[in-house]
Amino acid sequence: MKRPIAELVGTGRYTPKRVMTNDEFSKMLDTSDQWIRERTGIRERRVAGPDESNACMAKAAADQVLKEIGLSPLDLDALVVATCSPDRLLPSQACDLQALLGAKRAAAFDVQAACTGFLYALSVAEGLVAAEQAEQVLVVASEKLTSIMDWTDRSTAVLFGDGAGATLVRRSANRRGILSSYLKSDGTLAALLYRPGGGAAHPPDAALLTDHSYYIKMAGREVFKAA
């Protein structure tokens, strides 16, 4: 018996209402539109407002996919959400999305792999389908990185934004789909891009915000070399 092949069906996205241009950063930081564009190619990014939570953005992207392919949330067997900026640590972001969608029959869990999160989540979804543990798997990548970003740090503030994307992974009827994937990590480079505070090793305290350890830290040049 041949191993099932998983395929991607439909896409959905959500981008926050607020657009923040490079010119706005030039009024806040020692930078300019030209400096940012020459080094990153970025002209603008989206910034989620107080009413645009991670879960709400994820739901908006998921709704687009389900509408496009004509599925009900009750048809889903699993929800895999990739995020490193969840609305809260417990329960998972996927559980909050499951509740908003009403996908009561689905397994729901998060994958935390930062920039590569969607690829890892997609690989997990493909594995569930290939192992015949699920037939319809919703994959969502959703981030509200501006909530954990130091707006005074030029090395990170100009790079990150908010938004969500989604797709559905299911068994292919014609065996056209994901043929293979290759995943690799190097944990020894963790200190190049990380968030030092807020976890069990550095629980929330009065100093967390004042020493900026709550925010993302990055050694940009070293990350570029490693990438």
**Which residue ranges form the domains of the chain, and what is each CATH number?**
6-171 (3.40.47.10), 187-226 (no CATH)
In this predicted model, what pLDDT tens digit does every residue of 4-39 receive, in sequence order?
999 999 999 999 999 999 999 999 999 999 999 999
Question: What mean pLDDT do residues 108-116 have?
Answer: 96
In this predicted model, what pLDDT tens digit does every residue of 63-107 receive, in sequence order?
999 999 999 999 999 999 999 999 999 999 999 999 999 999 999
Question: What mean pLDDT do residues 145-168 have?
Answer: 96
- pLDDT of 208 > 90? The answer is no
Contacts of 55 by beta carbon, 8 Å cutoff, 6+ apart: 87, 93, 96, 97, 100, 142
Q: Token pair of 103, please?
A: 């996908």
The CB density around residue 183, as the number of other CB atoms within 10 Å, is 10
In this predicted model, what pLDDT tens digit does every residue of 32-63 receive, in sequence order?
999 999 999 999 999 999 999 999 999 999 99
Q: What is the mean pLDDT of the chain?
A: 95
Query: Backbone phi, then psi, for 176, in 5-degree steps?
Result: -105, 125
Write the CA distances from 141 to 8, 68, 86, 144, integer angstroms.
14, 18, 11, 11
The pTM is what?
0.94
Q: How far apart are CA 134 and CA 102, in angstroms?
A: 18
Q: How far apart are CA 66 and CA 11, in angstroms?
A: 9
Greatest CA span in the chain, whole angstroms?
63
